[in-house]
């Protein structure tokens, strides 16, 4: 279970802010994954409130690093029954054979998510994005979603772009973490045999260095505590990508 799913499940975050009418505005992209050849890719959405069932006429799209080319990952054509904290998994046709279970929805083809740089959006078919994650060397506009997450989309088969908080700012709302594709019914797995955790890597770049120390000190006493500082210092200089 990712940090966002755990937060929503244990605190009931946004449970009281759910509107009376069915909508789709409190849905975020939660995880983006691709293997090296693009045959296994997925996007995971998460509901931040109840009643986010009106997905008809919404879609997930991917764009390249210049925002010039777009592929449609999935068009939703009807409402969908899910609730606060649940995730919705959309994956390529090659996903099931590797994961051992089918996603909630299947993309029309493989290799639709751009790598290493690009952008994935959840939006109304003909309107502005509800949520977006731009990553790597993406160089075009990103709307209300801040600067791109600075790391490229991992394609090592183990890691994914993973949301770590509900901020709309891509530069602070995401990290690189071990993948955890999860269907709405809770079925989940880790592709690629898991991976080595990276203690002390608080900015998600798989290296424990001064950048992680800066993250911890910047929110010390609120988000991070002495145990987090000790974790950075104990693992300082570690490069988890080479483990």
Band of residue 18 on the pLDDT scale cut at 50, 70, 90: very low
**Which of helix, strand or coil describes residue 22?**
coil
Q: Tell which CATH architecture fits domain 196-243.
A: Orthogonal Bundle (1.10)
Is 9 a residue whose pLDDT tops 90?
no
Is 15 a residue whose pLDDT tops 60?
no
Q: What's the sign of the alpha-carbon dihedral 114, 119, 122, 126?
A: negative
> CB neighbours (10 Å) of residue 34?
29
Mean pLDDT of 198-215: 81
What's the chain's length in residues? Answer: 243
> CB neighbours (10 Å) of residue 119?
29
Is 114 a residue whose pLDDT tops 90?
yes
Extents of the domains making up the chain: 3-195, 196-243
Q: pLDDT digit string (tens) for 23-66?
A: 888 999 999 999 988 999 999 999 999 999 999 989 999 999 99
Is 213 a residue whose pLDDT tops 80?
yes
Is 218 a residue whose pLDDT tops 90?
no
Record: fold of 3-195: Immunoglobulin-like (2.60.40)
Coarse DSSP helix, strand, coil percentages of the chain, rounded to the nearest 5 percent: 20, 25, 55
Is 104 a residue whose pLDDT tops 50?
yes
pTM for the model = 0.76
Q: Please indicate whether residue 3 or residue 26 has the higher confidence score (pLDDT).
A: 26
């Amino acid at each position: 279970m990712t940090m966002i799913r755990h937060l929503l499940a244990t605190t009931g975050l946004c449970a009281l802010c759910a509107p009376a009418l069915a909508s789709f505005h409190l849905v975020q992209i939660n995880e983006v994954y691709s293997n090296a050849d693009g045959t296994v890719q997925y996007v995971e959405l998460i509901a931040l409130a109840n009643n986010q069932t009106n997905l008809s006429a919404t879609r997930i799209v991917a764009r390249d690093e210049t925002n010039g080319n777009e592929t449609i990952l999935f068009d939703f054509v009807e409402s969908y029954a899910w609730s606060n904290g649940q995730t919705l998994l959309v994956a390529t046709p090659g996903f099931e054979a590797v994961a051992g279970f089918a996603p909630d929805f299947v993309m029309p083809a493989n290799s639709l998510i751009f790598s290493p740089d690009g952008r994935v959006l959840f939006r109304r078919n003909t309107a502005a994005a509800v949520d977006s994650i731009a990553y790597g060397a993406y160089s075009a506009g990103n709307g209300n979603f801040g600067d791109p997450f600075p790391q490229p989309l991992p394609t090592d088969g183990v890691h994914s772009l993973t949301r770590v908080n509900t901020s709309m700012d891509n530069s602070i709302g995401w990290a690189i973490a071990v993948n955890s594709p999860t269907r709405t019914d809770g079925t989940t797995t880790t592709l690629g045999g898991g991976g080595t955790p990276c203690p002390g890597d608080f900015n998600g770049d798989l290296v424990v260095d001064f950048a992680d120390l800066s993250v911890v000190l910047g929110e010390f006493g609120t988000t991070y505590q002495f145990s987090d500082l000790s974790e950075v210092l104990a693992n300082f200089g570690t490069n988890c990508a080479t483990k």
